[in-house]
């Protein structure tokens, strides 16, 4: 009879019901989340090493290690404009040990059909960069001095000026927006990533290129490129000599968020802990200086709730303007 009772108790306990002569510690799950992280975290960058996304991710990882007390390794998984790396995180176990560092190209990837899903398939945590440092540049030998010169030349030679982009990416979208606002017609070509487009502009194979200022900084410093305008309403304090598009009469703005996400279903306590750690890092003077020195952009913290609202809104905007994202 005692044996039967013991078996019944064991069955009840296995279902998570407190009873018989033993108690279940209801804090077991919480304790496992509270103790996170206990092993190495892999941060996937969906582009090759050496670019701005890679730099921002590695800078973040090195500072997060100190905040979280855990090793963080950065793994570059390039392909499909970032979608190859994103897919690895989407399918990863939501245990807090695999994360993605990406930007809003995940949204345009979905709009143009490169991806079937965007941020809704992940658990976004926080942004570290709101990049408002985008500039449009030309080769210094082109004779162009500002955005007005470029627009006038484009109008006089419709369809001839070659605008470099990653088709379906944010640079492509910005070029199409400028065309729409000014009534010009570029010859928009896919010239690869930022470093590839810089090489093409230096060689004179393209006429204009759009990138964050820091991606082209060495070429501005050497005098090979000229920044025609910063794509914003206000001059950037880190390169104040570059006039804005607005100053030149064009309402053209660019802003891109770089953010960390976990796989969907990650425990809220882990997300909250990472969010707070990221906030602390963004406020760190060393982190800020390294970011500004390397890429001429100031770190900006955006928490989980505000980030989700922004991504929802941005996706709707891209979907509404699908014809400007996907030609």
- In the chain, DSSP finds a helix count (H) and a strand count (E) of 13, 11
Number of domains in the chain: 3
Give residue-wise pLDDT tens across range 175-190.
999 999 999 999 999 8
Query: Is there a single domain that holds both residue 286 and residue 318?
Result: yes
The first and second tokens of residue 101, run together, are 């560092």
Give residue-wise pLDDT tens across range 195-226.
889 999 999 999 999 999 999 999 999 999 99
Chain-centroid distance, C-alpha 161: 29
The first and second tokens of residue 206, run together, are 């393209």
pLDDT of res. 170: 87
Query: Is there a single domain that holds both residue 112 and residue 44?
Result: yes
**Secondary element (H or E) of residue 137:** strand 134-139
Query: Is there a single domain that holds both residue 285 and residue 140?
Result: no
Query: Is there a single domain that holds both residue 55 and residue 118?
Result: yes
Query: Is there a single domain that holds both residue 270 and residue 219?
Result: no
Is the preceding peptide bond at 37 cis, omega within 30 degrees of 0? yes
The first and second tokens of residue 13, run together, are 């306990």
Query: Is there a single domain that holds both residue 155 and residue 290?
Result: no
Query: Is there a single domain that holds both residue 240 and residue 144?
Result: yes
Query: Is there a single domain that holds both residue 74 and residue 174?
Result: no
Q: Which residues contact 242 (CB under 8 A, 6 or more apart)?
A: 135, 213, 227, 229, 230, 235, 236
The CATH number assigned to the domain holding 244 equals 3.40.190.10
CA distance 12 to 5: 11
Query: Is there a single domain that holds both residue 200 and residue 262?
Result: no
pLDDT of res. 42: 98
* Domain termination residue (choose one: 248, 271, 294): 248
Give residue-wise pLDDT tens across range 91-125.
999 999 999 999 999 999 999 888 999 999 999 99
pLDDT of res. 12: 39
- Cα dihedral sign, 121-127-133-137: negative
The first and second tokens of residue 255, run together, are 């802003």
* Domain termination residue (choose one: 248, 278, 298): 248
The CATH number assigned to the domain holding 275 equals 3.40.190.150
Stretches where the chain sits below pLDDT 70 are 1-33, 167, 327
**Radius of gyration (C-alpha) of the chain in whole angstroms:** 24
* Domain termination residue (choose one: 232, 248, 264): 248
Query: Is there a single domain that holds both residue 153 and residue 240?
Result: yes
Structural domain including 212 reads: 134-248
């Amino acid at each position: 009879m005692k044996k039967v009772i013991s078996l019944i108790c064991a069955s009840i306990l296995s279902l998570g019901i407190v009873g018989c002569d033993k108690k279940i510690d209801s804090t077991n799950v919480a304790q496992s989340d509270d103790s996170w992280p206990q092993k190495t975290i892999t941060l996937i960058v969906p582009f090759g090493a050496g670019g701005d996304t890679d730099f921002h991710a590695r800078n973040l990882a090195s500072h997060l290690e100190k905040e979280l007390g855990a090793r963080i390794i950065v793994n570059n998984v390039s392909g499909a404009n970032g979608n190859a790396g994103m897919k690895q995180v989407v399918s990863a176990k939501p245990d807090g040990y695999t994360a993605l560092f990406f930007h809003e190209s995940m949204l345009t990837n979905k709009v143009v059909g490169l991806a079937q899903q965007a941020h809704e398939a992940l658990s976004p945590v926080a942004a570290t960069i709101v990049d408002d440092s985008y500039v449009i540049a030309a080769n210094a030998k082109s004779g162009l001095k500002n955005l007005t010169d470029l627009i006038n030349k484009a109008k006089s030679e419709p369809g001839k000026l070659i605008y470099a982009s990653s088709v379906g990416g944010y640079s492509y979208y910005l070029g199409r927006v400028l065309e729409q606002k000014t009534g010009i017609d570029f010859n928009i070509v896919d010239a690869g990533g930022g470093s590839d487009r810089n090489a093409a502009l230096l060689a004179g194979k393209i006429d204009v290129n759009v990138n964050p200022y820091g991606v082209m900084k060495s070429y501005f410093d050497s005098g090979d490129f000229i920044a025609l305008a910063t794509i914003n309403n206000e001059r950037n304090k880190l390169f104040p000599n570059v006039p804005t598009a607005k100053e030149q009469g064009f309402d053209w703005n660019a802003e891109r968020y770089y953010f960390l996400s976990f796989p969907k279903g990650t425990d809220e306590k882990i997300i909250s802990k990472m969010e707070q750690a990221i906030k602390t890092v963004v406020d760190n003077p060393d982190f800020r200086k390294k970011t500004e020195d390397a890429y001429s952009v100031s770190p900006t913290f955006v928490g989980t709730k505000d980030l989700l609202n922004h991504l929802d809104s941005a996706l709707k905007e891209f979907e509404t303007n699908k014809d400007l994202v996907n030609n």
